[in-house]
Structure 1
Amino acid sequence: MANYEARRLENIKRNEALVKDLGLQNEIVPRNKVEQKTTKSPRQPAAKRRKLQSSQPTRTSARIASVSTIPAYGDDTSQDELALSEHKPRKGQTSKRKHENAAGFKHKDSNSPPSLSQDLESLIAGWSSWTPTAPPPTRDVEGTYHFESHPAFTPNKSPEAIIREGSFGGSYWRPLYSHRLRTTVSEDWRELPASWTAGLDVARYLTNPTYDAEANKYGVACGQSIEAWEAAGWIAHAHDVRGWFQWYCRFWLGRRCADDDRQVGRWRRCVGETGRWRRTLLKKYVRVGIRSVADEDDADDGEREGGVSPVVHQTCHHWAWEVRQEALDRFWAEGK
């Protein structure tokens, strides 16, 4: 046994020497150390993993989600127009004053019925009890109308022309249920001068219960409904329950009211000298290379056979403006 142990130790020494000569020597771990390493140490609690911050918003806006993709002709969607809708203080804040929108309503919350600043009967009576206080507009050689009380308001389409040529899908004067007033408004088209509707198919061009694109001058649909304008806060119920065009008809006939400056301002932002729809349409003419309004029907721009952007044309038509040669020439020359 002693001889065996001696040979074993000799073999170990020889092997260690050989490993050392070959450069393969590793750290020799004592057996007791190996046993210690193979013994599992108590498990340490895992460090908490840091949560990743998401770059996506965690809240969504109901207003943004409900925005229509249809081009809006009825009421401009610029920021100052959106400001007309009801303001709600942030959580934890209180409004310093009660907000009263253009309609003359004060709201406690979005689900409560509106509280009118005047009773419904007198409010409705006020829509037709006004008397003209301003003269009719004048018209210059270029076909632009001028109103003495509001020099910045220069449409080139009269209300009668807008009606007779086809507008609002023939449904602008249909029976209208107002969610704010909780009543249906109808037959108010009869306040229009008889000459504006003489010989007109009223059922198709004024009171059609459904929107008919073929009734429009350019044969296309555009814009939102009056109900959508009301929900957005664009309707001043104390003056015109149907919005912009009803205001224009009454303004043309000589009525002046507290809502005039707001409506004129909206017109200017849409089709005034720097209005977005006006500039959009004129840019399309230039892009296609059309220099004459008379050549508009010859446009071959791939947008629609038979003309430059009928949708934008119809939008401008609803806002009492159409492209005239003088405006097109000036835009080609000055870009404005």
Structure 2
Amino acid sequence: MTDYESLRLANIQRNKNLLEELQLDKPILQPPTALPSAKRRKLGITPAAPTRSSARLSALPRPSYKDEPDANQISKPPTKPLATSQPSRSKSPSGIAPSISPTNWSSWTPAAPPPTRSEDGTLNFASHPSFLPNKTPHEVIREGCFGGTYFRPLYSAHLGLTISNDHMELPASWTQGLDASRYILSPTYDASVNKYGVACGQSIEQWEANGWINHDFDVRGWFQWYCRFYQGRRCADDERQVGRWQRCCGARGRWRRALLKRYRDAGVREVFADDEEDGSKEVSPVVHQTCHHWAWELRQPVLDAYWAD
């Protein structure tokens, strides 16, 4: 291995050891008061692909992002040969050499305690009280996200090198029993992996091209930031990422509001019933999956409050 690879693997092992000592690698238990179970897909050790598909889903209109990925645009990973993973100081398309040292990607240590969880499933981070997701990173992964491609080898045009094996820093309990080659390392996007069985969002390469990734911290963007933030890392990019989450799925977030409006327009008062045979109450699985990628899931109390209001 190169000196860079040896150093990065050493950093990953050091972080894992520290997380084990602090018991931050263990999933947070669900709250004692169970959420409504009638409309829930059960979380198992080995997630299963959707049991049915609907021909009309492909005809549903998909939402458009303004400053976030377009839910209607899916692109395959680049077909060009992947570059070497050896650190590079090659220039970005703008002609400016990257300011990041690749060794920073895994060189972090937990600086904050794990979040607490409310009875309704909301996660509460003491350092950022306005950040209120209700899905942990490992729940998002195990339930199915990003078409199974999130941690695939990634060529960064900005950095001029390929990022790979950074999934190794995830706690082992997050992926235990999971088919990693299908759920996080797939080279091609597979919509059937996703919890709601539909495709949404853009590729990481497009996120990079659109300027949504801060390469000084998380070269894969939002979800990698969330995985690390959840484990206790704090960095200078936290406020930006929390702000992005608020604009998407916060109390006034556009995807949250768009989803509630679709329930209202459809006259549906129960949260997405993906286990119903006739599928008559399916409401915008694409927006559901988009919110799921942002670690937020519409739950019955929120929908009830919306209808009451």
Is TM-score (shorter-chain normalized) higher than 0.5?
yes
Quote the offset at 1:292 in angstroms.
Answer: 2.5
Correspondence for 1:271 among 249, 256, 270: 249
Residue 137 of structure 2 is aligned to residue 159 of structure 1: yes
| 1:98-113 matches, cutoff 5 A | 111-113=93-95
What is residue 207 of structure 1 aligned with on the other side? 185
AA partner of residue 113 (structure 1): G
Correspondence for 2:123 among 131, 145, 163: 145
AA partner of residue 251 (structure 2): E
Residue 68 of structure 2 is aligned to residue 76 of structure 1: yes
Distance, in Å, in 1 between the alignment partners of 2:189 and 2:107 is 30
Q: Is the 8 A contact 1:127 1:240 kept in 2?
A: yes
Number of residue pairs matched by the alignment: 230
What is residue 96 of structure 2 aligned with on the other side? 114
Using structure 2 for the length normalisation, give the TM-score: 0.69
| 1:288-299 matches, cutoff 5 A | 288-293=266-271
- RMSD between aligned residues: 2.6
Q: Which has the larger radius of gyration?
A: 1
Deviation per CA, 1:97-121: give whole Å up to 9, x if none: xxxxxxxx9x9xx844332234xxx
Distance, in Å, in 2 between the alignment partners of 1:200 and 1:111 is 37
Q: Is the 8 A contact 2:213 2:221 kept in 1?
A: yes
Q: Is the 8 A contact 1:74 1:224 kept in 2?
A: no
Deviation per CA, 1:51-97: give whole Å up to 9, x if none: xxxxxxxxxxxxxxxxxx9756796269xxxxxxxxxxxxxxxxxxx
Correspondence for 2:291 among 296, 316, 320: 316
What is residue 287 of structure 1 aligned with on the other side? 265
Unaligned runs of 5+ residues in structure 2 are 1-60, 71-88
Q: Is the 8 A contact 1:240 1:247 kept in 2?
A: yes
Query: In structure 2, do the counterparts of structure 1 residues 200 and 75 end up closer, same or farther at CA, with 3 Å as the change threshold?
Result: farther
Distance, in Å, in 2 between the alignment partners of 1:143 and 1:132 is 23
Query: In structure 2, do the counterparts of structure 1 residues 207 and 74 end up closer, same or farther at CA, with 3 Å as the change threshold?
Result: farther
Task: Report the identity percentage.
Answer: 63
Correspondence for 1:130 among 74, 92, 108: 108
Using structure 1 for the length normalisation, give the TM-score: 0.64
Query: In structure 2, do the counterparts of structure 1 residues 212 and 165 end up closer, same or farther at CA, with 3 Å as the change threshold?
Result: same
Quote the offset at 1:293 in angstroms.
Answer: 2.4
- Matched position secondary structure for 1:177: strand
Query: In structure 2, do the counterparts of structure 1 residues 189 and 137 end up closer, same or farther at CA, with 3 Å as the change threshold?
Result: same
Distance, in Å, in 1 between the alignment partners of 2:67 and 2:163 is 20
Distance, in Å, in 1 between the alignment partners of 2:174 and 2:67 is 24
Q: Is the 8 A contact 1:220 1:310 kept in 2?
A: yes
Higher RCO, Cα 8 Å, sep 6+? 2
Unaligned runs of 5+ residues in structure 1 are 1-68, 79-104
Q: Is the 8 A contact 1:159 1:248 kept in 2?
A: yes
- Matched position secondary structure for 2:283: coil
